[in-house]
């Protein structure tokens, strides 16, 4: 169970033994699902949720026809990604407004999840939308928590109501009366962080809820949370019937599998994300982005879509045949360059590829000037030279360099790259690796 | 019930959970299905897939070799394998020592400092707190409250001040007063924020320049954290070599299993565990007991 590479790579490995396209077989799906299972677990998706999800996707994939323009691996990624996105719901950054103001929003969550900061962000966002929000400090336990909210309130220019360490349900009730009198239309209640297993403190939240009847009860969860996300979300939801979830600290590099777990066990929408320490760092939740983040595959799906649109089946088949026959020439290399250009800039494509955030991209590989140069070099060759690059001699190289406005060194580099690519293809052929025509980059 | 009583309490649920899960899957044959399920059980406690599968491979071998039949014998093997991972070489505490407490936002750094202050004071050490979090709203108020509770001195400035300046003054105050323990609080920062990590590097430079005695840097990890904890260790360790981990919020239902991967990969020992929000809810780490209370 070695853990390396991205999902894309792993799946390619799984599918390296498949030569024919057609429908996905049970064994192929089983092997692919094993990899996907690992990826999800590493992303902190709860293991029970993973099991469920895998069962669902397996069912979906069984008998699925592999689209001509995709490799089986890509086909699976496509299904997984679609399923994951669908599971996470739609973008839903709307807050319910009470029929009679003020609208009450109650925050809750574990210690250190980021509730207090999020209160400030929500207040600022609401202000921008023309609302008149007020904040209420109900964290009476953590030292200086009330001061923290006051400082935040000042920075976003929103009034903070507090009654020191009085009982939170009393404070919040009075706060609402106060807001009503002062003409505030939205009241955001900050509460102390608490463990969901702490009965006493969970009762306190229920009491606040009873006292103020909030339109929104938002569970704030640190995106770095692990397997416990399920227990936390389930308990808060059971006790309070939350209306939505906020994920914080998504500006970190966590994969954020909790998003999937929480959504799966509560069915409640994820409404906002915290993406930084500044008061403007709040975003709506985008299910599709979250799905690719969890799968660590960048926007691989849009890449797949682009490839589908641009790479005709005909071209793909021709190339595959050439690879099989080891008759790949510089002409084909040129076609590949053109292909890449059609699909968008190379750096765009590489950025979309799985794992590219971790990968230190080889600068040469993404240099579009280099691409143009290579094109010019190939175009300056005779037909014979393109068919048989190995036979190109020193004097010919000089001519090609002059013709393409490059140097002999450039020509050498290209020839070397080409022969490496060809070598690579031979290896694939040796392993009878099929279906690689679609996306494989010739570098 | 000894000094670990709270710790036991905190971990009991965990133990029940894992132990019960193992009992559920322990139905006769120790076959592949059993081991696959066991791996899930470990993963469900935030052990990384890699650590889990290595532990499973190890006990599988041992179970076969020792012809293990009973559930209790099997659990014993498992416990041993897990304890071995967490048992690391550590050097003795000497004084004076300056501890820098680092970590991402909200993990419990400031609280840990409050508790550590109390811990060292009860071991007859003189303690100074340095309010190096000048970023978060009211952070120094929070630490001040802890210094009152623990009855220790504190060096602090207002918000927005260069943390390096606070650290500098704190160190010289400690040297002048011959304090045994200096506890430096730092602002929470996500480990992938280059600018903030650079700031930490500056603080680290000031410490090594101004403080000639023993230094220790502890990374605080929230036990609810999943696999991202590994990234945190990796990045903080690069900026300030880590001497230890403080695992907080073990009073929750989280298992903190990610420390197994940390121990395996980085060999950084756990120093303390946080088991609540009270001043004495901090206990020195003990691998054997930690594991015995998980499985
Ligand atoms: N239940 C529990 N809560 C803790 C523990 N340690 C810290 N906390 C809480 O976690 C929250 C964040 O702690 P704080 O020290 O401010 O974190 P910092 O941002 O890392 O300094 C506070 O509400 C603390 O009371 C612990 O061991 N158990
Ligand atoms: Mg702090």
| DSSP, res B98 | E
Contacts of A49 (CB under 8 A, 6+ apart): A230, A260, A261, A264, A265
Distance CA A254, CA A225 (A): 9
B173 has a chain A CB within 8 A of its CB: no
Q: Residue A303 has what pLDDT?
A: 58
Could you tell me which of B107, B62, B43 has the C-alpha nearest to residue B255? B43
Pocket test for ligand 1, best of B102, B107, B109, B111 (most atoms within 8 A of CB): B111
B43 has a chain A CB within 8 A of its CB: yes
Distance CA A111, CA A142 (A): 9
Q: Residue A307 has what pLDDT?
A: 58
Q: Which segments in chain B show pLDDT lower than 70? A: 1-17
**Cβ within 8 Å, pair B277-A42:** no
Contacts of B7 (CB under 8 A, 6+ apart): B250, B273, B275, B283, B289, B293
DSSP calls for A216-252: EEEEEEETTB-TTHHHHHHHHHHHH---EEEEE-TTS
Of A87, A120, A137, which residue constitutes the final position of a domain? A87
For residues A396 and A279, state if they share a domain. no
For residues A20 and A144, state if they share a domain. no
The residues facing B290 across adjacent strands are none
Direct distance between the N- and C-terminal alpha carbons of chain B, in angstroms, rounded to an integer: 19
Total domains present in chain A = 3
For chain A of 443 residues, list the mean pLDDT of each consecutive stretch of 10.
50 60 77 89 94 92 74 80 88 89 97 97 97 98 96 97 97 97 98 95 98 98 96 97 97 94 95 95 92 74 56 62 72 73 52 43 52 86 87 89 89 85 64 36 34
3-state DSSP helix/strand/coil % of chain A, to nearest 5: 55, 10, 35
Ligand 1 proximity of A434 Cβ (cutoff 6 Å):
no
Cα-to-centroid distance, A172 and ligand 2 (Å): 26
The DSSP element (H or E) to which B55 belongs, if any, is helix B49-65
Identify the CATH number of the domain in which residue A259 sits.
Answer: 3.40.50.300
For residues A181 and A292, state if they share a domain. yes
Cα-to-centroid distance, B105 and ligand 1 (Å): 10
**Which part of chain B is CATH 3.40.50.300?**
97-242
Parallel/antiparallel/unpaired status of strands B153-155 and B127-132: parallel
The maximal CA–CA distance of chain B, rounded, in angstroms, is 67
**Cβ within 8 Å, pair A152-B137:** yes
For residues A110 and A195, state if they share a domain. yes
| Chain A residue with the nearest C-alpha to that of B277 | A142
CB B213 within 8 A of CB B97: yes
Could you tell me which of B289, B230, B294, B219 has the C-alpha nearest to residue B261? B230
CB B240 within 8 A of CB B216: no
Three-state DSSP class for residue A22: coil
CB B226 within 8 A of CB B258: yes
B96 has a chain A CB within 8 A of its CB: no
**Cβ within 8 Å, pair A225-B229:** no
Ligand 1 proximity of B257 Cβ (cutoff 6 Å):
no
3-state DSSP helix/strand/coil % of chain B, to nearest 5: 50, 15, 35
For residues A180 and A209, state if they share a domain. yes
Look up the CATH superfamily of B3-86: SRP54, nucleotide-binding domain (1.20.120.140)
For residues A291 and A167, state if they share a domain. yes
Of A34, A58, A87, which residue constitutes the final position of a domain? A87
Distance CA A221, CA A48 (A): 19
Ligand nearest to the CA of B272: 1
Distance CA A242, CA A106 (A): 9
Atom of ligand 1 nearest to the CA of B103: 20
pTM of the full predicted structure?
Answer: 0.79
CB A438 within 8 A of CB A324: no
Q: Residue A365 has what pLDDT?
A: 44
Cα-to-centroid distance, B154 and ligand 2 (Å): 15
Chain A contact probe: residue of B38, B224, B261 with most A CBs at under 10 A: B224
In terms of C-beta density within 10 A (0-12 exposed, 13-18 middle, 19 or more buried), how is residue B124 classed?
exposed
For residues A190 and A239, state if they share a domain. yes
Could you tell me which of A146, A141, A142 has the C-alpha nearest to residue A175? A146
The DSSP element (H or E) to which B228 belongs, if any, is helix B228-239
What is the separation of C-alpha B58 from the centre of its chain, rounded to a whole number of angstroms? 25
Distance CA B138, CA A162 (A): 16
| Long-range contacts formed by A395-398: CB under 8 A, 24+ apart | none
B277 has a chain A CB within 8 A of its CB: yes
Architecture of domain B97-242: 3-Layer(aba) Sandwich (3.40)
Q: Residue A354 has what pLDDT?
A: 46
Three-state DSSP class for residue A24: coil
Distance CA B9, CA B293 (A): 9
Distance CA A153, CA A155 (A): 5
**Sheet containing strand B214-222, strands side by side:** B153-155, B127-132, B181-186, B97-102, B214-222, B244-248, B270-274, B282-284
For residues A415 and A352, state if they share a domain. yes
Model confidence pLDDT, tens digit, residues B254-264: 889 999 999 99
Identify the CATH number of the domain in which residue A345 sits.
Answer: 1.10.260.30
Residue A273 lies in a domain: yes
Query: Where in the sequence is the domain holding A80, given as residue range(s)?
Result: 5-87
Identify the CATH number of the domain in which residue A24 sits.
Answer: 1.20.120.140
Could you tell me which of A60, A6, A75, A3 has the C-alpha nearest to residue A292? A6
**CA distances, B123 to each of B117, B183, B184 (Å):** 10, 15, 19
């Amino acid at each position: 169970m070695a853990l390396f590479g991205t999902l894309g790579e792993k799946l390619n490995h799984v599918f390296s033994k498949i030569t024919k396209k057609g429908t996905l077989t049970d064994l192929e799906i089983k092997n692919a699902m094993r990899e996907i299972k690992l990826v999800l677990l590493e992303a902190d998706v709860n293991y029970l949720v993973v099991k469920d999800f895998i069962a669902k996707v397996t069912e979906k994939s069984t008998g699925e026809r592999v689209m001509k323009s995709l490799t089986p691996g890509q086909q699976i990624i496509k299904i997984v990604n679609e399923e994951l996105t669908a599971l996470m719901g739609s973008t839903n950054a709307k807050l319910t407004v009470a029929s009679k103001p003020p609208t009450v929003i109650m925050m809750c969550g574990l210690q250190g999840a980021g509730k207090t900061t999020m209160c400030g962000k929500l207040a600022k966002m609401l202000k921008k939308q023309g609302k008149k929000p007020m904040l209420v400090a109900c964290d009476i336990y953590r030292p200086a928590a009330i001061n923290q909210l006051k400082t935040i309130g000042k920075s976003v220019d929103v009034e903070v109501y507090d009654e020191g360490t009085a009982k939170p349900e009393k404070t919040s009730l009075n706060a609402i009366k106060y807001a009503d009198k002062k003409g505030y239309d939205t009241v955001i209640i900050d509460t102390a962080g608490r463990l969901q297993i702490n009965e006493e403190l969970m009762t306190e939240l229920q009491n606040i809820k009873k006292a103020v009847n909030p339109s929104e009860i938002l569970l704030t969860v640190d995106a770095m949370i692990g397997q416990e996300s399920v227990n936390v979300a389930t308990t808060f939801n059971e006790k309070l019937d939350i209306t939505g979830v906020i994920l914080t600290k998504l500006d970190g590099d966590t994969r954020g599998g909790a998003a999937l777990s929480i959504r799966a066990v509560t069915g409640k929408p994820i409404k906002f994300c915290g993406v930084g320490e500044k008061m403007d760092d709040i975003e709506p939740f985008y299910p599709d982005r979250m799905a690719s983040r969890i799968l660590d595959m960048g926007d691989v799906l849009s890449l797949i879509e682009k490839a589908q649109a641009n790479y005709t089946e005909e071209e793909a088949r021709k190339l595959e045949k050439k690879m099989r026959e080891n008759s790949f020439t510089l002409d084909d290399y040129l076609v590949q360059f053109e292909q890449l250009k059609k699909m968008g800039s190379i750096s765009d494509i590489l950025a979309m590829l799985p794992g590219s955030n971790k990968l230190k991209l080889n600068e040469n590989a993404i240099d579009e000037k280099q691409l143009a140069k290579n094109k010019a070099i190939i175009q300056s060759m005779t037909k014979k030279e393109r068919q048989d690059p190995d036979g190109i001699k020193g004097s010919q190289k000089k001519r090609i360099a002059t013709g393409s406005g490059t140097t002999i060194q450039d020509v050498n580099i290209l020839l070397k790259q080409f022969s490496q690519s060809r070598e690579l293809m031979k290896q694939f052929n040796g392993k009878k690796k099929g279906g690689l025509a679609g996306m494989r980059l010739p570098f | 019930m000894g000094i670990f009583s709270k710790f036991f309490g905190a971990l009991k649920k965990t133990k029940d959970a894992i132990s019960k899960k193992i009992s559920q899957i322990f139905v006769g044959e120790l076959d592949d299905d059993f081991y696959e399920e066991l791996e899930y059980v470990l993963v469900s406690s935030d052990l990384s897939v890699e650590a889990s599968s290595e532990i499973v491979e190890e006990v599988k071998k041992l179970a076969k070799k020792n012809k293990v039949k009973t559930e209790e014998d099997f659990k014993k093997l498992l416990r041993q394998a897990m304890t071995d991972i967490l048992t690391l070489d550590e050097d003795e505490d000497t004084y004076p020592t300056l501890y820098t407490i680092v970590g991402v936002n909200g993990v419990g750094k400031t609280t840990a400092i409050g508790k550590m202050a109390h811990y060292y004071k009860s071991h007859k050490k003189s303690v100074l707190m340095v309010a190096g979090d000048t970023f978060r709203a009211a952070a120094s108020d929070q630490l001040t409250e802890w210094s009152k509770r623990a009855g220790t001195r504190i060096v602090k400035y207002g918000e927005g001040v260069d943390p390096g300046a606070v650290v500098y003054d704190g160190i010289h105050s400690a040297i002048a007063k011959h304090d045994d323990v200096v506890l430096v609080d730092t602002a929470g920062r996500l480990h992938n924020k280059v600018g903030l990590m650079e700031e930490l590097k500056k603080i680290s430079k000031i410490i090594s320049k101004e403080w000639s005695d023993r230094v220790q840097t502890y990374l605080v990890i929230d036990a609810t954290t999943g696999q991202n904890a590994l990234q945190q260790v990796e990045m903080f360790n690069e900026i300030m070599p880590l001497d230890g981990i403080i695992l907080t919020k073990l009073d929750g239902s989280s298992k903190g299993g990610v420390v197994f991967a940390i121990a395996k990969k980085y060999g950084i020992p756990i120093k303390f565990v946080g088991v609540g929000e009270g001043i004495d809810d901090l206990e020195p780490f003990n691998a054997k007991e930690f594991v015995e209370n998980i499985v």
